[in-house]
Amino acid sequence: MKIAALDLGSNTFLCLICEVTDHKITQIYSDEVDVVRLGQDVNKTKRLHPDALIRAKNTLTQFKKTIDLHKPDAILAMATSAARDSENKEELFKICRDLQIPLEIIPGHKEAQITFEGSISGLTATHSNQLIIDIGGGSTEYILGQNRAILFSQSLNIGCVRLTEQFVKQQPTPEIQIQELTQFIHQQILDFKNKTQMTINEVLAVAGTPTTLAAVEIGYFDPQKIDGYVITRVGLEKWLERLAQTSVEQKLAMGFPAGRADVILVGIVILLETLKIFNMDKLFVSTRGVRFGIALEVARRQ
């Protein structure tokens, strides 16, 4: 079954067109990504910004051209934190209706399930206790899994766009802003850990922060090299120290793409504090995530 699965995140929109056979993704026809920044000012205004809606419409119009080219059997878009938190989400629904793209807003608990299934969909085996981290623009999903089953999950409001707007007032970033940001993130993750009391064997990070960081370290974006790439705690500490001293323009010059360069600092702090709190020295990067889970969800419904 050919499926078009769209992940309308708070920072990034993704469109995956793939084949699903026997509840497994067996072929990828197209995998597009665009930074939309849907979550612009949502934390402050509780509304989708008019400019964000224009960007969303432009990106979805391009995605629809790809979808029409591949003629999938089923289409589904799912929106996450920014849409959940906004009072005018109906405007996003209208854009999708006009383009004939079915849209649902994922509740936090369902997002965790979809993220987990998508993230591990490419693994041949899983460790007994696995922590999945999906850093979005508005929220970050923390999922504890064991043998392909979720044991505990929580959606935390520590997305990279949300916290950049809240804590990072300038770049280069003063130490006091880094400290306030770190303390806030640390407490949120610690509260999550205290609810679980589990020993973690492996950390798997999905979405733009880890994949972008891996691409910059490798020197270019290669999904085959990035999937399974190892990022160390020491490496994250070095990146934090370096990026705190740079402007957005300097981050762009380092290879961080537009739409990611201005929020990558927060993403790195989230990853670093996660490793510290769970006493891990490294994490593995996954290029999979929500869009793969959506494809599997669509196939299951059929």
For the chain, domains (ranges, CATH) are 2-109+290-301 (3.30.420.40), 124-286 (3.30.420.150)
Lowest-confidence region among 78-92, 106-120, 193-207, 242-256: 106-120
| Sheet architecture: strand order including 149-156 | 149-156, 140-146, 130-135, 202-206, 282-286, 230-232
Here the tokens at position 12 are 């990034």
Measured in residues, the chain has a length of 302
Note the pLDDT of residue 164.
95
In the predicted structure, residue 78 carries a pLDDT above the cut 80? yes
Mean pLDDT of the chain: 92
CB atoms within 10 A of CB 257: 16
- Which residues, in sequence order, are CB contacts of 144 under 8 Å at separation 6+? 129, 130, 131, 132, 150, 151, 152, 153, 196, 198, 200
Return the structure tokens found at 224: 């085959």
Name the pLDDT band for 132 (thresholds 50, 70, 90).
very high
Whether 172 and 246 have beta carbons less than 8 Å apart is answered as yes
* CA pair distance 275, 186, nearest whole angstrom: 11
- In 3D space, the residue among 77, 10, 5, 56 whose CA is nearest the CA of residue 267 turns out to be 10
DSSP 35: E
Measured CA distances, 302 to 20, 151, 155, 180, 189 (Å) = 11, 26, 27, 47, 37
Question: What is the percentage of the chain residues whose pLDDT exceeds 90?
Answer: 69
Q: Which residue has the higher pLDDT, 40 or 232?
A: 232
- Which pLDDT score, from 0 to 100, does residue 288 have? 86
Cα 164 to chain centroid distance, Å, stands at: 15
**Is the full-model pTM beyond 0.85?**
no
Whether the predicted pLDDT of 124 surpasses 80:
no
